[in-house]
C-alpha cells in the first residue's frame, strides 16, 4: 500500500461502469513535490433524508424503489430531535430522478438534503478542506516516470492534515491580438503574442514576430504559438493559472482561435480539454488546475472608479507600468522597431503585474476556501452569501443538524439600520464611536436563530426585541449564534496573535486569516432576509436591525451626557464632536 500527501486543489466525480467515482486533485508533497495527483474513491455513495409521518409505513413504501440502503437516524431539526430515514442511492443522478417520487409517497412529510452536490457532500462528510493538506493510502495505478500525474486508488479514507497556507505554483498569462480599428475580432484577427510570468521566476513572451529581447521566443505561426501555450502549461505544471479578464477575453479568444486552427486545448492534469461553465457566470475551467480571473477578486475587494490592470496595479503597489491603449497595439505591431519592442515589454509587464496582484490578493480567497471547505474556483466564482451558506451547511453536519430546505418565498422588506443625516459645517475635535461587529454580536448576545424564535416566554427566559416584540429563547444556544460565535472568536483570537507577533511574514498570514473571517461575519446577517437562504427568517432579520437601532440611539444619547455632540450616524457607528473642557484627557 502506498501513502501520498498532497494539497487538495479541486474535486469532482466521473462515472465508470455506471458507478460514481470521486476524483480529488492535488499538488504532491514529499519526494515527488510539485507533481500532480488524482486520488480515486469508488466507495462513496449519494444520499438524502426523508422525514416520515410513519416510519415503518414509509420504509415499506420506499422498498419498491430499488434503493441501495435505508437507515433510521436521529437528527436535530430546528432544535428538536426527530427520526429520519437516510436513503442511500446508487448514483448521484438518481437523487433528482427519485426525489419527486419519494416526496409524493403518502407516508413522506418532507425530503431533506436532496440538493447537496455529490462532490461537496464528499468534502463535508469526510471533513476535507480544499487548499489544505490531506494524506491518502492506496494503490498507485501508474508507475511510469513518464506520467507526470500520479493516479492512486483510495483504500483508506483521505485524512485531513492540519497545515498552514500552502505554497503553490502560480502561472499568469496574457494574450495580445490586434485590429486596425481597435478591439480585435476573434473570427478575423490572430493572436500575435502570449506572455507568461510565474511566482517561480519564469518570464517569457512567445510571438509570431522577432524581437531583440532575450525574453521573447519567436514561432512561425499562430498555430505554433498556441502549441507553445499548451506546452508551457504542461511543462511548468502550475497549481493556479491567473489572468485578468481571462474569463471574458483571453480564454474565450484562445478557444475560438484553437477551434479554427484545429488544436485541442488539453490543459487539464487528467488530459481533459479547457471548458466553460455558465453558472453563476461564464468562467474557464481546467481540471486539476485552478483558473482564477483576478478581475473578479479585485472587483470585490478594491474600491476604485475603474478596475483596469493599470489602475489596480498602481493602487496596490504605488507604481506605474507600461501602458499601450488598445487602438495603438496594431500600429506598434506593424511599424516594428522600438514600437514593437515596447509592445513586447508591455505584454510581459502585464503578466508580471498579474502575478504580483495574485500574490497580494489570492491569500484571502485561499483562506476562505480553507474555512468554508469549498474549492478555490467556487470561492472566487461565487459571492460571499454562497460562502456563508456552505460554511453553515458544513457546521450543520458537524453539529448533527438536518438542513432545512430553501424556502424560496420572499415575505417583505426589512427596515435597515438607524441613519442620522450629517450636521452641515466644518467641525473639529471629531471622534468616531464604532460598534465592533454589531449585527453578528447581536445574533450571539440575543441568541437569534430560527429555532430559538418562540411565541411564549417572558424577559426571564427570552430576549424580547424592541419595536416588534419578537421573542428568542435564552437557552439552549441556537445554531446560527453558535456558528457565528466560532468565526467571531477565531477572528478576535487571530487579531490578538497579530498584535503579539514581531515577524512581518507571520503577521501578514495572520492578517489574511482574520480578513477572511471578517468577510464571512459581515455577510451572515443579510442572509436572514434572503429567500434562498435555508435559515431565512424575517423575524430574526427585523429583530437584529431593531436592536441595532436601539443600541446606536442609546449610545448617542449617553455620549451627549459626557460632553459629545453627535454629527452623523449610520448603522453601526457615529461621529461626534467633543465639547467638554478636558479634551486632551479624553
Q: What is the pLDDT along the chain (586 residues), one digit of tens a residue?
A: 899 999 999 999 999 999 999 999 999 998 778 899 999 999 999 999 999 999 999 999 999 998 999 999 999 999 999 999 999 999 999 999 999 999 999 999 999 999 999 999 999 999 999 999 999 999 999 866 657 799 999 998 899 999 988 999 999 999 999 999 889 999 999 999 999 999 999 999 999 999 999 999 999 999 999 999 999 999 999 999 999 999 999 999 999 999 999 999 999 999 999 999 987 889 999 999 999 999 999 998 888 999 999 999 999 999 999 999 998 999 999 999 999 999 999 999 999 999 999 999 999 999 999 999 999 999 999 888 999 999 999 999 999 999 999 987 887 888 888 999 999 999 988 999 999 889 999 999 999 999 999 999 999 999 999 999 999 999 999 999 999 999 999 999 999 999 999 998 889 889 999 999 998 998 888 889 888 899 999 999 999 999 999 999 999 999 999 999 999 999 999 999 998 656 555 5
CATH T-level fold of 170-368? Nucleotidyltransferase; domain 5 (3.30.420)
Burial bucket for residue 185 (CB in 10 Å: 0-12, 13-18, 19+):
exposed
Q: Could you say which DSSP state residue 170 is in?
A: E
Please give the backbone phi and psi of residue 235, each rounded to the nearest 5 degrees, phi first.
-75, -40
Q: Provide the 3-class DSSP secondary structure of residue 196.
A: strand
CATH 3.30.342.10 fits 47-120, yes or no: yes
Q: 564-570 and 419-420 as β-strands: parallel, antiparallel, unpaired?
A: antiparallel
Tell me the residue length of the chain: 586
Q: Which residues contact 138 (CB under 8 A, 6 or more apart)?
A: 1, 2, 4, 39, 152, 153, 154, 155, 156
The Cα–Cα gap between 154 and 43 comes to 9
Q: Provide the 3-class DSSP secondary structure of residue 87.
A: strand
* Domain spans in the chain, listed from the N-terminal domain onward: 2-44+124-161, 47-120, 170-368, 406-486+517-578
Number of C-beta neighbours around residue 28 at 10 A: 17
Report residue 304 as a C-alpha cell. 476604485
H or E, element range at 549:
helix 538-561
Cis peptide before 280 (omega within 30 of 0): yes
Residues 130-167 as b/e (b if ≥16 CB within 10 A, e otherwise) read bbbbbebebeeeeeeeeeebbbbebeebbebeeeebbe
pLDDT tens track for 532-581 = 899 999 999 999 999 999 999 999 999 999 999 999 999 999 999 998 65
Q: 170-177 and 240-243 as β-strands: parallel, antiparallel, unpaired?
A: parallel
Alpha helices in 146-250 (DSSP H): 222-236
Q: What angle do CA 524, 525, 530 make, to 5 degrees?
A: 90
* DSSP characters over 551-584: HHHHHHHHHHHTTEEEEEEESSEEEEEE-SS-TT
Q: Which residue's C-alpha cell is 463535508? A: 124
What architecture is the 406-486+517-578 domain classified under in CATH?
A: Alpha-Beta Complex (3.90)
Q: What radius of gyration do the chain's Cα atoms show?
A: 28
Q: Which residues contact 501 (CB under 8 A, 6 or more apart)?
A: 507, 510
The Cα–Cα gap between 310 and 404 comes to 46
| CATH fit for domain 2-44+124-161, picks 2.60.120.380, 2.40.50.730, 1.10.3720.10, 3.30.360.10 | 2.40.50.730
H or E, element range at 100:
helix 92-103
Amino acid at each position: 500500500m502506498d501513502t501520498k500527501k498532497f494539497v487538495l486543489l479541486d474535486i469532482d466525480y466521473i462515472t465508470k461502469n455506471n458507478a460514481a467515482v470521486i476524483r480529488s486533485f492535488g499538488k504532491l508533497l514529499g519526494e515527488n513535490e510539485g507533481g500532480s495527483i488524482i486520488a480515486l474513491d469508488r466507495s462513496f455513495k449519494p444520499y438524502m433524508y426523508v422525514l416520515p409521518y410513519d416510519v415503518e409505513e414509509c420504509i415499506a413504501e420506499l422498498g419498491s424503489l430499488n434503493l441501495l440502503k435505508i437507515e433510521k437516524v436521529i437528527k436535530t431539526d430546528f432544535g428538536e430531535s426527530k427520526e429520519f430515514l437516510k436513503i442511500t442511492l446508487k448514483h448521484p443522478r438518481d437523487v433528482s430522478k427519485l426525489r419527486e417520487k419519494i416526496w409524493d409517497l403518502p407516508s413522506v412529510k418532507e425530503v431533506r438534503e436532496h440538493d447537496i452536490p455529490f462532490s461537496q457532500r464528499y468534502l463535508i462528510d469526510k471533513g476535507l478542506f480544499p487548499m489544505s493538506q490531506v494524506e491518502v493510502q492506496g494503490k498507485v495505478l501508474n508507475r511510469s516516470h513518464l506520467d507526470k500525474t500520479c493516479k492512486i486508488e483510495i483504500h483508506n479514507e483521505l485524512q485531513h492534515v492540519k497545515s498552514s497556507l500552502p505554497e503553490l505554483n502560480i502561472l499568469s498569462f496574457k494574450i495580445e491580438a490586434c485590429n486596425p480599428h481597435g478591439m480585435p475580432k476573434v473570427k478575423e484577427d490572430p493572436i500575435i503574442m502570449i506572455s507568461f510570468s510565474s511566482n517561480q521566476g519564469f518570464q517569457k513572451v512567445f510571438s509570431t514576430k522577432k524581437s531583440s529581447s532575450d525574453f521573447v521566443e519567436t514561432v512561425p505561426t499562430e498555430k505554433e504559438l498556441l502549441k507553445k501555450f499548451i506546452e508551457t502549461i504542461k511543462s511548468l505544471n502550475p497549481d493556479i493559472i491567473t489572468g485578468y479578464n481571462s474569463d471574458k477575453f483571453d480564454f474565450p479568444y484562445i478557444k475560438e482561435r484553437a477551434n479554427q486552427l484545429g488544436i485541442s486545448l488539453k490543459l487539464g492534469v487528467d488530459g481533459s480539454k479547457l471548458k466553460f461553465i455558465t453558472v453563476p457566470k461564464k468562467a474557464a475551467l481546467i481540471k486539476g488546475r485552478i483558473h482564477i480571473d483576478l478581475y473578479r477578486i479585485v472587483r470585490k475587494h478594491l474600491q476604485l472608479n475603474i478596475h483596469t490592470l493599470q489602475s489596480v496595479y498602481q493602487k496596490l503597489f504605488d507604481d506605474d507600468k507600461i501602458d499601450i491603449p488598445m487602438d495603438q497595439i496594431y500600429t506598434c505591431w506593424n511599424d516594428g522597431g522600438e514600437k514593437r519592442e515596447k509592445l513586447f515589454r508591455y505584454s510581459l509587464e502585464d503578466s508580471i503585474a498579474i502575478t504580483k496582484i495574485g500574490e497580494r490578493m489570492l491569500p484571502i480567497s485561499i483562506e476562505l476556501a480553507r474555512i468554508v471547505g469549498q474549492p478555490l474556483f467556487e470561492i472566487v466564482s461565487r459571492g460571499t452569501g454562497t460562502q456563508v451558506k456552505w460554511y453553515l451547511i458544513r457546521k450543520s453536519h458537524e453539529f448533527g443538524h438536518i438542513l432545512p430546505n430553501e424556502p424560496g418565498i420572499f415575505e417583505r422588506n426589512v427596515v435597515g439600520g438607524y441613519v442620522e443625516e450629517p450636521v452641515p459645517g466644518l467641525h473639529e475635535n471629531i471622534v468616531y464611536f464604532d460598534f465592533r461587529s454589531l449585527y453578528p454580536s447581536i445574533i450571539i448576545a440575543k441568541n437569534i436563530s430560527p429555532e430559538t424564535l418562540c411565541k411564549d416566554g417572558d424577559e426571564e427566559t427570552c430576549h424580547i426585541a424592541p419595536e416588534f416584540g419578537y421573542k428568542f429563547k435564552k437557552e439552549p444556544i441556537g445554531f446560527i449564534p453558535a456558528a457565528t460565535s466560532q468565526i467571531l472568536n477565531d477572528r478576535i483570537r487571530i487579531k490578538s496573535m497579530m498584535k503579539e507577533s514581531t515577524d512581518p511574514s507571520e503577521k501578514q498570514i495572520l492578517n489574511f486569516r482574520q480578513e477572511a473571517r471578517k468577510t464571512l461575519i459581515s455577510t451572515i446577517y443579510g442572509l436572514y432576509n434572503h429567500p434562498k437562504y435555508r435559515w431565512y427568517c424575517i423575524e430574526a432579520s427585523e429583530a437584529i436591525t431593531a436592536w441595532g437601532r436601539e443600541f446606536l440611539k442609546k449610545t448617542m444619547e449617553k455620549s451627549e451626557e459626557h460632553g459629545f455632540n453627535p454629527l452623523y450616524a449610520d448603522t453601526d457607528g457615529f461621529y461626534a464632536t467633543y465639547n467638554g473642557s478636558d479634551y486632551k484627557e479624553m
